[in-house]
């Protein structure tokens, strides 16, 4: 990995844990539109495709817009109450900045909520660029988000490493022709990650520093 200059991170399930916030907001919205609650594992497994796609399988199409509005109104507050960095995340980001890497975020989470998370957890100072799927025509697993970040930060594919926790992250990395590290702390199970054949799999984000060295 000697040629790597740019490291791009997914947020949820990779650097931080916001599942408690998502689960609370999801079930609040379900209750308000008269739909049944869902268990935490079902919700967790549905995360990663953006909030509209999170809700869509569980509500009728005619109430999706209302459910999404309720979810988003609730979520801006639940994120503050129920989100935290994974152990070692901030230490890793600080270490990578000191080593001179350019750092970025690529998330399918809407920009508004990604910004709330990053500011609340005080990690905004580490990133050169944050890009979310709502600013693009295509979200992950399409490679558009990774390619746009590379172009913005002037890094070639061979100089870029992408780190994510889901099958769709591995697929996006492969389609963008960049090295991809899967971290087994998110919505996809270890065997699902392994099946997609990422460049590397690590048990937690704290293990990335050793992998780079």
pLDDT per position in the chain (213 positions), as tens?
A: 789 999 999 999 999 999 999 999 999 999 999 999 999 999 988 887 888 999 999 999 999 999 999 999 999 999 999 999 999 999 999 999 999 999 999 999 999 999 999 999 999 999 999 999 999 999 999 999 999 999 999 999 999 999 999 999 999 999 999 999 999 999 899 999 999 999 999 999 999 999 998
Residue-level pLDDT at 48: 77
Residue 88 is classified by DSSP as T
Residue-level pLDDT at 47: 86
Residue-level pLDDT at 154: 98
Domain definitions of the chain by residue range: 6-17+84-212, 19-81
Query: In this structure, are residues 86 and 204 in contact, taking their beta carbons and an 8 Å threshold?
Result: yes
The two tokens of residue 198 are: 């990422």
pLDDT tens per residue across span 24-51: 999 999 999 999 999 999 998 888 788 8
Domain 6-17+84-212 has CATH 3.40.50.10540: no
pLDDT tens per residue across span 126-151: 999 999 999 999 999 999 999 999 99
Write down how long the chain is.
213
Q: Do the domains spanning 6-17+84-212 and 19-81 agree at the CATH topology level?
A: no
Q: Cα–Cα distance between 6 and 153 in angstroms, integer?
A: 8
The two tokens of residue 194 are: 């392994």
Helices 19-32 and 61-81: crossing angle, nearest 10°?
Answer: 140
**Alpha helix ranges (H) inside 13-103:** 19-32, 40-46, 51-55, 61-81, 89-98
Residue-level pLDDT at 31: 96
Domain 19-81, what architecture? Orthogonal Bundle (1.10)
- pTM, 2 dp: 0.89
Residue closest to 113 by CA, chosen among 62, 57, 51: 51
* pLDDT, averaged across the chain: 95
Cβ-based neighbours of 164, under 8 Å, separated by 6 or more: 9, 10, 13, 14, 140, 170, 172, 173, 180, 181, 182, 183, 186
Residue-level pLDDT at 1: 77
CB burial of residue 131 (10 Å; 0-12, 13-18, 19+): buried
């Amino acid at each position: 990995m000697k040629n790597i200059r740019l490291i791009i991170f997914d947020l949820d399930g990779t650097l931080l844990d916001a599942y408690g916030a998502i689960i609370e907001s999801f079930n609040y919205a379900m209750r308000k539109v008269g739909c049944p609650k869902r268990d935490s594992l079902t919700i967790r497994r549905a995360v990663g495709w953006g909030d509209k796609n999170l809700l869509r399988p569980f509500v009728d199409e005619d109430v999706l817009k209302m459910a999404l509005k309720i979810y988003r109104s609730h979520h801006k507050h639940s994120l503050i109450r129920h989100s935290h960095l994974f152990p070692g995340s901030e230490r890793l980001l600080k270490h990578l900045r000191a080593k001179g890497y350019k750092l970025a975020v690529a998330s399918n989470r809407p920009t508004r909520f990604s910004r709330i998370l990053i500011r609340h957890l005080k990690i905004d100072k580490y990133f050169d660029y944050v890009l979310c799927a709502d600013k693009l025509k295509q979200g992950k697993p399409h490679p558009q988000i990774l390619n746009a970040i590379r172009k913005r930060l002037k890094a070639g594919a061979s100089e870029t490493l992408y780190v994510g926790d889901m099958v769709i992250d591995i697929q996006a990395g492969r389609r963008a022709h960049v090295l991809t590290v899967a971290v087994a702390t998110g919505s996809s199970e270890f065997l699902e990650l392994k099946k997609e054949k990422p460049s590397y799999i690590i048990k937690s984000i704290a293990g990335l520093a050793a992998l780079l060295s």
